[in-house]
Amino acid sequence: MFWHDFDNIIWGDLMQNTQFQFSKLAGKLKSSMIRELLKYANVPGAISFGGGTPDPETFPRHELAQIAKEIIENEYKYTLQYSVTEGDPELIKQILILLKRVYDIDRLSNENVLITVGSQQALELVGKVLIDPGDYVIVGDPEYLGALSAFRMRDTQFLVVKFDDDGPDIDMVKQKIKQLDDSGQIEYLKFIYVVSNFQNPSGITTSLEKRKALVEIAEQYDLLIVEDDPYGVLRFKGEMLPSLMKIGGVERVVLLNTFSKILCPGLRIGMIVADKPIIRKLVLAKQGTDLCSPSLTMRLTARYLERYDVLEQIKPAIDLYRKKKDTMVKALEENFSDIIGAKWTNPEGGLFVWFTLPKSFDTMEMFRFAEENKVFYIPGEAFKPFEEPSSSMRMSFCLPSIEDIHEGVKRLRDAFDKYRSYKGL
């Protein structure tokens, strides 16, 4: 009898019965709150503002199906074989074209790009190559959860700056850096991380003025900036601002991006654009991490980009998201305008509205009232670099229908009222 079923043995028991130990890193790993909370969102009749996944109806499935068949038949020596660690050169070629079109960034070559398995791997590799345990990184409050998880795995110390309506609080950035400099620890500050357009979770875009200020600070202290821009192309109105990389140059800024939002997430194509010596190190780190990305998904993306204009293809999706965002903002106005201190962002693009209740409320505490009403959101606490309560929530408008957005916000108001009377406020 070799096999035992551990179904009934819980974690703690296993640990008692054996000397066997996990690493300290494993001890710190926790399931993301989003992941845990979204398990509730599958109940019948539920309306979820939780997930940040794009609408699958926006994916160009017929085109991708046709191309996939062709490239497996005809390019099988590439698509079914190991690739080089750097990524498919055909895809990098297309990415260089897009960098020029989207960001007006040129003079880059293949050695400035690494293809990753989604932008989560980009974040993880950046952490490996730049961060030693105990090093500092400047992040926002709130901040993108995936970045926090990736950097936490490197035992990063977060210097947290408030994220205002127009991006990071620049005075706080300066103050945090000055404190480090005064205490002789500036060398341990590795970079400033910022999601520059329609930040996840807040929907906020960093203003041109603040972009310039961040680059100036980075130059003054010889720091890197890691700019993450998965949503920039999903702009509903207004003009795109120059990226931090455009302002600061490739020697100052590392740019992360992904095709998950403008093409589809299932191919897991992310990228890092950076100075060549940094890419070289990242390639080595990826070699030990997963050897190479799947050739098939890289070549599929490359051939798609070659044949179709992804920036045109995404336009109907952007129109749809604009309508849904407008609906959500209108529903919030209709349902929460009477609540003094309640406010919400009105993003010019992206997938998220950031909805903040008056300070005395805690959206994690309110979650069970929302759950009873079958409406789901992500409590702001999930996006705090340090564990602390939050009166905000992230509300994604990309997946629910127009009708469900109306209905969901109504349910949310009802949940809020129940929570408010429970709190006796």
In the region spanning residues 360 to 399, those forming contacts with its own copies, defined by CB under 8 A, are none
Q: How far is the CB of 90 from its own copies (least distance, A)?
A: 14
The site string for its own copies over 42-71 (x = CB under 8 A, - otherwise) reads -----------xx-x--x-xx-xxx-xxx-
Between residues 242 and 410, which has the closer beta carbon with respect to its own copies? 242
- Give me the long-range contacts of 249-253 (CB less than 8 A, separation at least 24): 250/105, 250/108, 250/112, 250/274, 250/275, 251/275, 252/215, 252/218, 252/219, 252/224, 252/225, 253/215, 253/218, 253/224, 253/225, 253/226, 253/227
Q: How far is the CB of 247 from its own copies (least distance, A)?
A: 7
Residues 83-112 within binding reach of its own copies (CB under 8 A): 83, 85, 105-109
Instruction: Give the separation between CA 11 and CA 16, rounded to whole angstroms.
Output: 9
Answer for the pair 91, 306: CB distance below 8 angstroms, yes or no.
no
Pick from 170, 264, 317, 351: which binds its own copies (CB under 8 A)? Answer: 264
Q: How far is the CB of 418 from its own copies (least distance, A)?
A: 32
Pick from 196, 205, 206, 295: which binds its own copies (CB under 8 A)? Answer: 295
Between residues 82 and 422, which has the closer beta carbon with respect to its own copies? 82
DSSP state of 190: E
Integer CA distances (angstroms), 373 to 1, 43, 235, 363, 410, in order = 49, 11, 32, 14, 10
Residues 181-220 within binding reach of its own copies (CB under 8 A): 187, 190
Pick from 33, 41, 72, 102: which binds its own copies (CB under 8 A)? Answer: 72
Q: How far is the CB of 136 from its own copies (least distance, A)?
A: 12
Pick from 45, 288, 312, 340: which binds its own copies (CB under 8 A)? Answer: 288
Between residues 3 and 386, which has the closer beta carbon with respect to its own copies? 3
- Find where tokens 């509300």 sit: 395
Residues 341-360 within binding reach of its own copies (CB under 8 A): none
276 near its own copies (CB under 8 A): yes
Whether the bond into 142 is cis, omega within 30 of 0: yes
- Find where tokens 């098939």 sit: 296
Select from 144, 147, 142 the least CA-distant residue to 121: 147
Pick from 251, 319, 372, 388: which binds its own copies (CB under 8 A)? Answer: 251
Pick from 249, 326, 343, 410: which binds its own copies (CB under 8 A)? Answer: 249
Pick from 77, 237, 239, 424: which binds its own copies (CB under 8 A)? Answer: 77
Q: How far is the CB of 147 from its own copies (least distance, A)?
A: 10
Integer CA distances (angstroms), 57 to 264, 316, 353, 408, in order = 10, 10, 21, 21
Binding-site size, its own copies (CB under 8 A): 104
Instruction: Give the separation between CA 55 and CA 52, rounded to whole angstroms.
Output: 9
Q: How far is the CB of 356 from its own copies (least distance, A)?
A: 27
Select from 19, 35, 32, 277 the least CA-distant residue to 153: 32
Instruction: Give the separation between CA 96 and CA 375, rounded to whole angstroms.
Output: 42
Q: How far is the CB of 403 from its own copies (least distance, A)?
A: 20
Tokens of 26: 């494993």
Pick from 210, 211, 246, 324: which binds its own copies (CB under 8 A)? Answer: 246
Give the binding range for its own copies (CB under 8 A) out of 25-33, 161-169, 320-328, 354-362: 25-33
Report phi then psi at 395, rounded to 5.
-120, 115
